[in-house]
């Protein structure tokens, strides 16, 4: 009798684990399918520049030579004009423009799937000048903080090895603004 009771317990545990595993696989397949649909939807993912703006010299500062200060400066505040690299002064920039980075918007509970958006807004009129959008499929992971491991759309890397979904967010200022310096 003891033998059959143990066998029943083991069988129930095995069936339960198999069921959970099967449900997890089905959920992941649904998530991957929905994610692929979102990624292939025209105009959902990428970098969108609505207005290019030329910044005057008051928006720029000299590039520091101290390595620690250079490390504190975000890559996203450099402009590249005619093979010349100039640095935007973040304090002056933030008086006129707002950069909202990596805002996470839930598109679907399946996955869950998020739209990750960075926008640049002109403060004087509230106009969105540009935005970068990538998608993230958590594939069942539920961490609520960044950085998040998952599958991103837009996939791929540039010639330097930088992920395309990340690059479109950090170079948004460079694509939105220009200078005659």
Contacts of 36 (CB under 8 A, 6+ apart): none
The pLDDT mean for the chain works out to 80
Beta strands in the chain (DSSP E): 46-49, 53-55, 60-61, 78-81, 84-88, 97-108, 113-122, 128-137, 151-153, 177-179
Instruction: Report helix, strand or coil for 142.
Output: coil
Q: What is the mean pLDDT of residues 116-139?
A: 93
The token pair at 119 is 């926008």
pLDDT for res 16: 55
Q: What is the pTM of this model?
A: 0.74
Torsion angles phi and psi, residue 105, rounded to 5: -120, 125
pLDDT for res 7: 60
Q: What is the mean pLDDT of residues 138-164?
A: 67
Residue 20 reports pLDDT greater than 50 = no
């Amino acid at each position: 009798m003891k033998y059959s009771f143990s066998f029943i317990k083991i069988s129930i545990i095995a069936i339960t684990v198999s069921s959970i595993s099967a449900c997890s696989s089905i959920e992941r397949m649904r998530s991957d399918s929905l994610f692929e649909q979102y990624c292939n939807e025209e105009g959902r993912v990428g970098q969108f520049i609505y207005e290019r703006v030329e910044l005057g010299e008051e928006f720029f500062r000299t590039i520091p030579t101290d390595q620690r200060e250079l490390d504190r400066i975000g890559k996203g505040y450099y402009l590249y004009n005619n093979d010349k690299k100039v640095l935007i002064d973040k304090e002056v920039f933030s008086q006129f423009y707002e950069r909202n980075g990596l805002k996470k918007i839930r598109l679907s509970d399946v996955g869950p799937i998020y739209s990750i958006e960075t926008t640049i807004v002109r403060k004087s009129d509230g106009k969105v000048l540009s935005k970068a959008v990538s998608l993230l499929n958590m594939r069942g992971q539920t961490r609520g903080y960044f950085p998040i491991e998952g599958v991103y759309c837009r996939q791929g890397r540039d010639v330097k090895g930088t992920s395309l979904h990340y690059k479109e967010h950090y170079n948004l200022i460079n694509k939105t603004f220009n200078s005659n310096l």
